A and B are shown apart, each in its own frame.
Chain A
Amino acid sequence: MKWLLQLLSRGRRYDDLSVSMQEHIEERTEELIDDGMPRKEAEHRARREFGNVTLIAERSREVWQWRAIESVAADLKFAFRRLGKSPGFAATVILTLAIGIGANTAVFSVLNSVLLRPLPYHEPQQLVSLHLNAPGAPGLADFRDELRVSASMYLTFAAHNRAFQSVGVWLPATASITGIAQPEQVNTAMITDGVLQTLDVPAVAGQWLTAADQNPRGAQRVMLSYGYWQRRFGGDPGVVGRTISVDSQPREIAGVMSRGFRVVNYDFDLLVPLAFDPVKQQLAGFAFRGIARLRPGVAISQADADVARLLNVWMDSWSNGPGSDPHWYLNWKITPALQPLKEQVVGSVGNVLWVVMATIGVVMLIACTNVANLLLVRADSRQQELAVRSALGAGRWRIARELLLESLTLGLLGGAVGVGVAYVGLHLLTAIGPENLPRLSEISLDGRSLAFTLILSMLSGLLFGSIPLLRYTPSRQVIPLLGAMRTASVSRERQRGRNLLVVAQVAMALVLLISAVLMIRTFNAMRNVDPGFSDPALLQVIRISIPETLIRDPQMVTRIQNNIQDKLAAIPGVSSAGFAVSVPMNGGEPAWNQIYIEGKNYEGENAPMRLYNYVSPGYFHTAGTRIVAGRDFTWTDIYGLRPVGIMSESLARELWGSPSAAIGRPFREFTSMPWHEVVGVVQDVRENGVDQVSPATVYWPSMMPDLYGPGSPLDARRTAYFAMRSNRAGTQAFINEMQQAVWSVNSNLPVASVSTMQDIYSQSMARTSFTLVMLAIAGTMALALGVLGIYGVISYAVSQRTREIGIRMALGAKKSELAWMFVRSALVLTGIGVAIGVVAAAGLTQFMKSLLFGISPLDPFTYVAIPFFLVFSAVLAGYLPARRAAAVNPVEALRAE
């Protein structure tokens, strides 16, 4: 408290001090007068004896001050006052910095929220995804980067593991909810016991699903997501215990999960228990995503070893039916490669974010160089003031501190405004960012982002502040006093400082422009790829599921689907319709297996895995997938259960050499299946996005004899995507008519996943277009800043050398020569910058290799066109001020001195 009292009484202390000192001098003066000295002389003498009043007062006052802080505060006040005197300069700098820092903070916030922050679960470092590799299953890698977990694997892992506290598997799915309002299709997460225990997030109402819900003959309750609870039930807590109809089956609501809870990165409406009947399980059925929580202290490598052991237990305990060899899967060489769950959540977006962050960082560097250049010019005009102060005894450090303080202030002010920019930018980023950006809902400006802003502001302040500092702190040997400005036109050394900055700017701008153009060319290359369907904007897609609880008979399911297809095709403006179990690029879980062809011996060899799809007659025509050879399915094929199939072109070529050679050839999935005949070959489809290879695909009829298990002799695909070709695709009126068409067949069928193929297509390119937009923005900013830098430097050089120009003209120099002199210096600077930039770009663009498609990071066109373009811009930027130099009137230029 004492320091506070002292602080408050300081004003009185200072008054006391000056009164005392004043009286001291006056008393001495009067004494001297009394001794007979004239007043004037006495006053002088008294003052001289006393010494430097100001200095003594200052020293005395310092006793009450925190010296370091207060003199900094004084400097700060001075800095603010000087900035206030040149508001244009201050505004330019602060705005430049605010945009730079704001953009960086926004991108960093995304990076931080998505990549750096731990997952929002308890002890997230214990969470792993059960990633399995199967290098011995050829072809699998063409459409899946892992082998999913089968139900029997899960049952084995759950019962016998030593590494996990809990383990569970889950599956994204959909279900229709009826009986509340209109039938509605909702996203469900089918989960086993262990999933909720692993993620360990409590329910906000009611309870978790329990092991009892997994009993195939048990209650099988459901849980609601917070969002669905709010949307459908208005957040009514009384909903727990109520019964809703899920796929026409009544289920009790056990509880509600908390807000923002997702299963890994999947945003669901309903949690539905998976109820595996252990009696019915086989080895196969690799469809589930596994997650687990490690026991404390267990490393991932130990867990891998445990799972490897369990895989043997799995093969010993289950089979694929009588007569099959359970150890056949040894061929697949299934190896566990468990991953931290965060990797699974974040996926491939990390690379994009780092590239964008680096890009925005470079823009910031360019902005700093521009500011440094402005400061250099400003320091130039303060040269005399600083020299005078230095001559009067101001220390080097003192002046340096003041200059640095000024740039730090600018940096921090820029940062403060930048937080606002970041706030806006973040909204913009999440809006234009890929829709499937993981952890989108978690993105926010948090303490770490703000700390980042602060550090960035200070670092940039120090960076652009120290450049003028290096050049301008007056050394005692060279004090360019008042006359200095007249004598030379401009010191070479100072001009060199600015030139270096311009070279750096050009180099950085070149790197960004090259990256941006590489992305543009990637985007173009992707758009030029034939995706295997045509005019996606005219292709409407909806998903309809017919649950077993609604319609049991597979034959009936197919009839209904056939009916719906006809009704949809009859809507005015629809030219054709069809359905398939999966449509390209929508990220669904594919079916796959191997096929065997007649006449080939598979002893001791693995048949490669092929993607499976199940289609209706007319689907290929509707989607615009060309039939290369043979024919489409017919309804007679379907209802007649004819053993027929269609192959993708690449698969037909692989197996039989050419599409036409494939027609009529027999193939089958497994030995007990009758031979099927290839009736058609269709063009390859980019199932996983245009930048991925087209997987070898087998198309089966939508209804087939069920040869796997007991029960129904028929197997119809109950969930299908219906496609319609129409120029009304995507309009609300059209969507309503589709709805009516579906309900006219069965009023309990909800229409889900309504989108045009264009939406799906764009979504699959979202990562590329996002990177493209970000790099294009950054590249444009860099170009603008770079050109501005060149313009500024040449312009300043012209204004500084007006006198020299005047003399040259007076001596007979031609105007064009003078203009060329300045353009040439712009060209030299750009040339050096471009040379450095090309080398840097060649190195740095290697990091974006995984984002490029169809072109090399050293794409010759880009590496020629961009430098050319940049040099052209630089000549233009240099020419404008150079023209002014040529227009100098020699008489006026010399008279101005």
Chain B
Amino acid sequence: MAKNPEHRELFPGALEIMILQSLRLRPMHGYALVKHIRQVSDSLLQVEEGSLYPALQRMLKEGWLEAETGISAKGRPTRIYRLTEAGVRHLEREVSSFEKMFDGIFRVLAVAKA
């Protein structure tokens, strides 16, 4: 998932949840998504294009996203991805399950430290 060997492999579903969360803020096109995730994560996470585009197609197929014609930052035509109602619901479900999981992991780690 990451080009840089320093970056750990993301666990399954992580890329999707980040894409969904980013698109919830505002609709974006592909390159903007890559940049957005890099910036927000302080370059800790780098999305690989080889994973991004297939993931976007999967989510389009699931109906979580919609693609519409739009204009890129450079003023050329591209496709802007927007979150759908179903996408929002899916994101919320996923986030809550992720939070529970993180919570659990942290607690286990905390006990181990103590």
Contact = CB atoms under 8 A, between A and B. Distances in A.
Interface string B54-87: 1011101100000100001110111100000000
Interface in A1-46: 6, 13, 16-17, 19-21, 23-24, 26-28, 30
B53 interface: yes
B61 A63 contact: yes
Q: How many interface residues does chain A have, given as a range? A: 20 to 34
B54 A23 contact: no
Contact of A57 (B53, B61, B78): B53
Nearest to B59: A63
Interface of B is mostly: helix
Interface string B2-19: 000000000000000000
A60 B77 contact: no
Contacts of A835: none
A28 B74 CA distance: 10
A27 B49 contact: no
B57 A61 contact: yes
A30 to B, nearest CB: 6
Interface string A542-577: 000000000000000000000000000000000000
Nearest to B33: A24
A20 B74 CA distance: 13
Interface residues of B, number: 22
A61 B54 CA distance: 7
Contacts of A28: 31
B57 A64 contact: yes
Contact of A51 (B48, B58, B60): B48
A50 interface: yes
Interface in A653-700: none
Contacts of B61: 6, 63-64
Given A24-B31, A50-B49, A64-B61, A56 B54 contact: yes
B50 A55 contact: yes
A49 B53 CA distance: 14
Contacts of A59: 50, 53-54
A51 B78 contact: no
Contact of B53 (A21, A23, A27, A64): A21
A178 B72 CA distance: 101
B79 A51 contact: no
Nearest to B60: A13
A892 interface: no
A200 interface: no
Contact of B50 (A23, A26, A51): A51
Contacts of B74: 26-27, 30
B54 A60 contact: yes
Contacts of B49: 21, 24, 49-51, 56
Contacts of A61: 57
A63 B30 contact: no
A145 interface: no
A380 B33 CA distance: 51
Contacts of A51: 48-50
B30 A24 contact: yes
A60 B30 CA distance: 13
A63 B77 CA distance: 24
B53 A56 contact: yes
Interface in B1-55: 29-31, 34, 48-50, 53-54
Interface of B: 29-31, 34, 48-50, 53-54, 56-58, 60-61, 67, 72-74, 76-79
5 contacts: A20-B29, A20-B56, A21-B49, A50-B49, A57-B53
Given A55-B50, A60-B57, 6 more contacts: A13-B60, A16-B79, A19-B79, A21-B53, A56-B49, A59-B50
Q: Which 10 A-B pairs have the closest CB atoms?
A: A23-B78, A63-B57, A24-B31, A60-B53, A60-B57, A20-B79, A27-B31, A60-B54, A59-B54, A20-B30
